[in-house]
Structure 1
Amino acid sequence: MTFRFCYRGRRGAAAAALLGVALLAAPAQAQKYRTAAGIRLGKNNYGLTVQQKIFEKTTLEGLGLVGTREVSATVLAERHFGILGPSLNYYFGAGGHLGRHKDTGTFGGLDALAGIEYKVAFVPFVLSLDFKPTVEFNSDDWARFPTAFSVRYIFIKDKKDGVLNGLFGGDKDRSKSKSKSKSKTKDQPRRGLFDW
C-alpha cells in the first residue's frame, strides 16, 4: 500500500481564501430553505446532493458520487452561518463516507467540509462551492482535498420572516405577535440609563 498526498495548488488557495472570508463574517440568520437537492460537480467526480434542514442552522447532506473508477456515498452534518442575511451563507461540517473502487475494493473515510452558498433571488435554486478534505481508509490515497460546485433546487422553502411578508398575507399573525409583545413590555418595570 502506498501513501500519496494529493494537493491542487489553485484549489487549495481558493479554499483557504473561502475559509478566511467565512471566519471574518459575523453570524446572522442562516439559510432560506428546508429541503434542497441537485447535482454536484468536481474535477474527478460528479453526483447527486440532498440537503435537509434538521435544526435552525443545521442540515444533513447526503452525497452520491461517481468517479472514473469508483462510487461512494457520504453523509455530512453541517452548521450554516449567514454572511449578508439568509441568502448568502458559509458552512462547516463533518461526516463519513463509504465506497467501492474498481481496483482496490471497498474503502471508507472521514470527511470535513467548508463551503459557501448563495440562494439565487426570485428562483428556487441554491449555488454552492465547497472544500471537502477526507482521510481515507483502505485506499491508495491516505487523504484527498477535493473542491466541488453544486446546484440544488429548493423543494421545501423555509417560512418567510422577511420585510415583504405582510404584503402578501400574514398580517393577522404579525398583529397578534405585536399585541403580545406590547402587553409584555407594559408589565416590565422601567429601567434607567445606568440600570443593567
Structure 2
Amino acid sequence: MTFQDMRRAGALLLLLLGGAGRLALPAQAQKYRTAAGLRLGKNNFGLTVQQKVFEKTTLEGLGLVSSREVSATVLAERHFGILGPSLNYYFGAGGHLGRNKDTGGFGGFDALAGVEYKVAFVPLVLSFDFKPTIEINSADWARFPAALSVRYVLIKDKSGLFDGLFGGDKKKHKSKTKSPGGSRKGLFDF
C-alpha cells in the first residue's frame, strides 16, 4: 500500500465517518474507558490499547512489528468532539523504544494527530492517524507514518478513570451528615 493509497483511505474514512456521525444519535453513542485492537500501517502492524484517564484524555500503548524491527510506544492523547461524542479528533505526544535487526536499539519522540469514530450500536472504535517521529540511534532521523486502527471496546464508561480525584466530579452526591438518632456520623460510620 503506497502513501497515496493511505491518504485516499484516510479521506474515504473521514467521509464515511462524517456521514455516519450525522446518523448516529448522541444518546445512543457509548463512550469507552478501555479499548484494544489492531493497528495497520504501510510498513508495520501491531497491537493498540487505549485507556481513558481523564474526561478528554487517553493513554495509548502501541506494540508494532515490521520486517526489520519491533517497537513499543506510549502516547498521551487529548480528544475533542466533532459531531457529538461518537466522532472525535485528537492530538497527542509520547515516546518509543525499539530494536532494529540491522542497527540495534533505538528510541525517539512521537507526535500524533488523528480522527476516531465510536461505531453506534457496536463495541468498535475506528481511527485513522498520522504519527510523525523523531528518531534517536536509527538510520532514519524522522518518520511520517499513517495508520488505521480497529479497537474493540473492553470497558464501557461515561467517566474517566481519575474523574473526581482532583475535585472535578460534576456529579452531585447527597450525603447524609446526621444519623437517624440526630448525632453526626463519623467518617467510617455506615
Do Structure 1 and Structure 2 share a fold, with TM-score over 0.5?
yes
2:112 pairs with 1:113: yes
Give the alignment's Cα RMSD to 1 decimal.
2.4
Matched, 1:36 2:64: no
Q: CA deviation at 1:159?
A: 2.7
Query: What is the TM-score when the length of structure 1 is the normalising length?
Result: 0.67
Partner of 2:132: 133
Percent of aligned pairs sharing the same letter: 81
Query: Which structure shows the bigger proportion of residues in helix conformation?
Result: 1
Query: In the TM superposition, what is the alpha-carbon distance from 1:147 to its structure 2 partner?
Result: 0.2
CA change 1:12–1:142 in 2 (3 A) is farther
The equivalent of 1:170 in structure 2 is none
What do the CA deviations read for 1:36-92 (whole angstroms, capped 9, x no partner)?
Answer: 000000010000000000000000000000001000000000000000000000000
> Residue 93 of structure 2 corresponds to which residue in structure 1?
94
Structure 2: which amino acid aligns with 1:148?
A
1:92-112 per-residue CA deviation (whole Å, 9 max, x = no partner) reads 000000000000000000000
SS in 2 for 1:141: coil
**Residues 6, 42 of structure 2: 8 Å contact kept:** no
Structure 1 segments, 4+ long, off by >3 Å, are 8-15
Superposed counterparts of 1:170-181, under 5 Å = none
Counterparts of 2:125 and 2:6 in 1: how far apart (Å)? Answer: 21
| Equivalent in the alignment of 1:144 | 143
Aligned residue for 1:159, secondary structure, equals coil
Quote how far apart the aligned CAs of 1:32 are: 1.3
Q: Which residue of 2 aligns with 1:70?
A: 69
Give runs of aligned pairs for residues 42-61 of structure 1, distance below 5 A. Answer: 42-61=41-60
How far apart in 1 are the matches of 2:141 and 2:4? 18
How far is the alpha carbon of 1:118 from its aligned partner?
A: 0.4
The number of residue pairs the alignment matches comes to 143
Alpha-carbon distance in structure 2 between the residues aligned to 1:147 and 1:62:
16
